[in-house]
């Protein structure tokens, strides 16, 4: 096989890996929560693009680490980075989940909705770029950074810095497709008129917040039980699709249950 065909085949594999990675349950839970916080704050466009933003932040870190690894001739990734990245993701999910629940039914979340000691993290949760910041933080894990290092090594063998860039870009494109479509779909369901009324907002806030907390709880359990961690790794796509399906069904049910009273939400 020629180098050009090698590169195309590898980029196809990497695109599929990015697509699968985008359906990780922790990605979807974080995107749902940040999308809801944006919508609740009246930033409908940011809410609609939360999945794309998350993928952008995640992909930029992968691209940066891949280029650094290539320029340095390879990088050493310590084992402790695995636990650090996992706990960072757990902390982010817990924060956005709690904020979603805390502000359920409110007209618009603001930084003052956070406890004082958490207000420095307001850009993560209540800013229009919160999803991108969250995505970047989620990329600081051993598995994601190891993949970036693999892009660097593969690119060096095939064709240099340009191939490294294209591999990281293909991974990001696959993830963008998965996270962007999933985020758009859940945001569309959550943005239904029935769920913008007071009772509907409360229902959606609790549903999405609890989903984020349950996903964070699964992350904690994985850190404490190696067999569960191995099982979850082998069923990551199934878990992500299951979360997406469950959220969709419950939001559709919420639209039917919400009363037909006018919305009490006031514009900013």
Residue 25: its pLDDT value, please? 95
- pLDDT higher than threshold 80 for residue 19: yes
Give dist(CA 169, CA 87) in Å, integer: 27
Note whether residue 134 is domain-resident. yes
CB half-sphere exposure, 127, CA atoms < 13 A: 13
Is the pLDDT assigned to residue 115 strictly greater than 90?
no
Structural domain boundaries, residue 150:
3-257
The CA distance from 261 to 194, in Å, is: 9
Q: State how many domains the chain has.
A: 1
User: If pLDDT is split at 50, 70 and 90, which confidence band does 200 have?
Assistant: confident
Instruction: Evaluate whether residue 56 is within a structural domain.
Output: yes
Look at residue 83 and tell me if it is in a domain.
yes
**In this structure, is residue 191 part of a structural domain?**
yes
pLDDT value, residue 116 = 64
Q: Among 109-113, 138-142, 167-171, 214-218, which stretch is predicted with the lowest mean pLDDT?
A: 109-113
Do the domain assignments include residue 137?
Answer: yes
- Is 263 within a domain? no
State percent of the chain over pLDDT 70. 85
Could you please report the per-residue DSSP string of 28-64?
HHHHHHHHHHHHHTT-HHHHHTHHHHHHHHHHHHHHH
- Domain membership flag for residue 268: no
User: Is there a domain that residue 265 lies in?
Assistant: no
**pLDDT tens string 248-268:** 999 999 888 765 544 444 444
């Amino acid at each position: 096989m020629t180098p050009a065909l090698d590169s195309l085949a590898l980029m196809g594999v990497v695109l599929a890996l990015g697509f699968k990675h985008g359906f990780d349950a922790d990605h979807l839970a974080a995107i749902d929560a940040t999308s809801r916080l944006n919508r609740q704050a009246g930033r409908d466009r940011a809410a609609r693009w939360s999945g794309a933003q998350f993928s952008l932040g995640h992909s930029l870190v992968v691209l940066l680490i891949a280029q650094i690894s290539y320029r340095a001739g390879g990088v050493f990734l310590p084992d402790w980075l695995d636990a650090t990245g996992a706990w960072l993701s757990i902390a982010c999910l817990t924060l956005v989940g709690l904020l979603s629940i805390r502000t359920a039914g409110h007209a618009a979340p603001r930084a003052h909705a956070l406890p004082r000691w958490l207000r420095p993290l307001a850009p993560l949760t209540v800013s229009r770029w919160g999803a991108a910041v969250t995505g970047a933080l989620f990329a600081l894990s051993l598995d994601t950074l190891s993949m970036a290092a693999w892009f660097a090594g593969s690119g060096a063998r095939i064709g240099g810095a340009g191939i490294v860039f294209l591999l990281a870009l293909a991974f990001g494109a696959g993830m963008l497709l998965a996270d962007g479509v999933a985020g758009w779909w859940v945001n569309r369901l959550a943005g239904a008129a029935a769920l913008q009324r007071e009772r509907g907002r409360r229902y959606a806030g609790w549903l999405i917040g609890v989903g984020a907390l349950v996903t964070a709880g699964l992350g904690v359990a994985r850190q404490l039980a190696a067999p569960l961690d191995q099982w979850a790794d082998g069923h990551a796509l199934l878990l992500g699709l299951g979360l997406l399906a469950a959220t969709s069904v419950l939001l559709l049910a919420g639209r039917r249950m919400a009363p037909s009273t006018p919305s009490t939400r006031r514009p900013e």
